A and B are shown apart, each in its own frame.
Chain A
Amino acid sequence: MPFDLSDRVQTVPPSGIRRFFEIAEERDDVISLGVGEPDFATPWAARDAAIASLEAGKTSYTANRGKRELRERIADYVADGFGLDYDPADEIIVTAGASEAVDLAFRALVDPGDTVAIAQPSYISYEPGVIFAGGEVLSVPTSKADEFTLTVEALEAAGADEADLLVLCYPNNPTGAVMSKAELEPVAEFAREHDLTVLSDEIYAELTYNGSHTSIATLEGMRERTIVFNGFSKAHAMTGLRLGYALGPAKAINAMNKIHQYTMLSAPTTAQHAAIEALDSCDEEVREMVAQYDRRRQFVLSRFREIGLDVFEAKGAFYCFPEVPDGWTAEEFAEGVLREEGVAVVPGDVFGAGGEGHLRVSYATGLNDLREALDRIETFVEEHV
């Protein structure tokens, strides 16, 4: 039989958002709070550097791990910003988005039958990534009671002590939760005690409000068992340029590079030129975008409280995660508010265990649209609840 699809591919269900996408297409006045990418354009200096590199004909492959100059800038950036210390020579790999880096890590580390614990709700690519790599997923649900931080109780309850890897993402997509150093300490201790390798997706690190981001890799004894992912999509508004990176001990990064060199060769060259400039000269633009997100965050949280939907104080990324009213599932609410009011939000279930009964609301949208969208949600709640 032609195209006898692999079991791995068939095991992964189609994306839960697909159906909503089709409903949204039917209306032309939809305001989308369902978007997981910035509404800002890439800072001009970075775009200009990309253009200049094209004009200069710099369109060949780069070193597999990425341009040396870029790896050096990344090393400086993560050292200054987050106190992370990685050698550009063999502890950093530049990839086609953080997405590729995450996939490389799974393929480099997961053997058939290995168990990967994933703190959920979380970004939707981890689970399929583990399955494609032949591993088993162990969901570790977090809850509103803990403001969606990962606790040792949750890890123990899920049986994560038996896992081989642990994936976490803070600041979190979809909840907007962040974890402080004090909250990360017990998780780090658990990982050390049970010999877990930690994959920490910190792509929203820069989007941390009231306070600064702590990387779990900076905690005692964690650097040698952690791979950190970051990238240019969120803080530098460069999603379509497809550029991210992983930081880790040489043993892990070299293994990831082995796959990368055969499957990708090198990350997009034009994007690497843009990224060098982004790190060199766009701090001010990043700060301005973060300030805008923070205002919108406070606005949206205030409006949900006024509307009467329970929402915890999300302190990172560009999402908040309100609860749907009693008697509703997230799916029903999201579909209703889309069909009747033309507001797109994502039901929390899509992001795995712990997400049910919640909505992911993105505030990566201009304030006028946010205001209108929240007014419409208010109307929907007044009419139905």
Chain B
Amino acid sequence: MSEREVLELLRENARYSTADIARMTDLEEDEVAAAIDNLEAAGVVRGYQAVIDWDELEEERVRAEVELNVRLDRETGYDDIAERLARFPEVTALRLVSGDYDFDMEVEGDSIREVSQFISEKVAPVPEITQTVTHYVMTSYKENGIEFGDGEEDDRLSYTP
């Protein structure tokens, strides 16, 4: 139960200190630390990352969503193909999905050229992959639950009854 609560708070903001999490809950600071250790050890929490709005940076960052269709055979299952694809550092996310295609893969690179090359030279040649459809991300409006707009100003008066 307390792990669940800690997990929720970390999801809200992974940079909450253990002290702040303790203040917000009925837990002591060392209990919070223990809960986080447990979550990490159990593989529930796999990492912590910043949510970045690349449009706010000068340098280019190219991201693409790639639909992959695969053909399975007796020796090769989805997991085998996924394992192989997930090894590429260019692949930032990989999910098996329902619907018209099999895998939903996110790829990142420094240029469109780099990403296209990666897909044509590293992904497409994988024998089980029968089709790839690449969608370059043009603008991101929301990532990991965080909206990228300018945010609404707090227009409340500073004192109200």
Contacts and interface: CB of A to CB of B under 8 A. Distances in A.
A204 B160 CA distance: 16
Contact of B159 (A32, A39, A123): A32
Q: Which applies to chain B's interface (DSSP): helix, strand, loop or mixed? A: loop
B144 interface: no
B20 A371 contact: yes
B154 A39 contact: yes
B30 to A, nearest CB: 15
B150 to A, nearest CB: 15
Interface in B135-161: 152, 154, 156-161
Interface in A280-325: 295-296, 298-299, 302-303
Contact of A299 (B24, B154, B156, B160): B24
A30 B156 contact: no
A123 B160 CA distance: 11
B159 A21 contact: yes
A332 to B, nearest CB: 17
A299 B20 contact: yes
A173 B161 CA distance: 9
A82 B24 CA distance: 27
B123 to A, nearest CB: 39
Interface string A118-138: 000001110000000000000
B158 A302 contact: no
A298 B158 contact: no
Nearest to B5: A295
Contacts of B154: 39
A303 B25 CA distance: 13
A302 B156 contact: no
Given A21-B157, A125-B161, 14 more contacts: A21-B158, A21-B159, A24-B158, A24-B159, A35-B157, A36-B160, A36-B161, A37-B160, A41-B152, A124-B161, A296-B24, A298-B24, A303-B23, A367-B13
19 contacts: A15-B161, A17-B159, A21-B157, A21-B159, A30-B158, A32-B158, A34-B158, A34-B159, A34-B160, A35-B156, A35-B157, A35-B158, A35-B160, A41-B152, A125-B161, A295-B25, A299-B24, A344-B158, A371-B20
